[in-house]
Amino acid sequence: MVMRRLAVLLLVTLPWAAYAAPSAQAKREIQGLMDALSASSCEFQRNGTWHGRDEARKHLQRKYDYLLKKNLVDTAEQFIERAASKSSMSGRAYQVRCPGQPAQPAATWFAAKLDALRGSGAPVR
């Protein structure tokens, strides 16, 4: 029974241990996503409350820093999935609401910004 528990524990924890630090490109992309949020006129909803872009960026930066310390993010996609999509406390999806547009899932908003960053190489607003 002890060996079985150990095997299960290893199967659960080994995939997380395999993550590496983000590459320089991934760091630039994640920075670009944060910059896009800061440069936008959008609001960010978490746990039912709307927040301005500066507060949203600070929140996402804290989450990103935590994930970095735990080696849990090494791509921009992982940043979107693990930090910018939903609350790690409540599990509720984040939303982004930009002027003149309906609110949308933050994961969708950030994925579109990432596609634009990769397509143009220029900052995304």
Residues 15-71 pLDDT 10s: 544 556 899 999 999 999 999 999 999 999 999 999 999 999 999 999 999 999 999
Whether 26 and 74 have beta carbons less than 8 Å apart is answered as yes
**Whether the predicted pLDDT of 2 surpasses 70:** no
**Whether the predicted pLDDT of 6 surpasses 50:** no
What's the rounded mean pLDDT across residues 62-87? 97
pLDDT at 66: 97
pLDDT at 4: 58
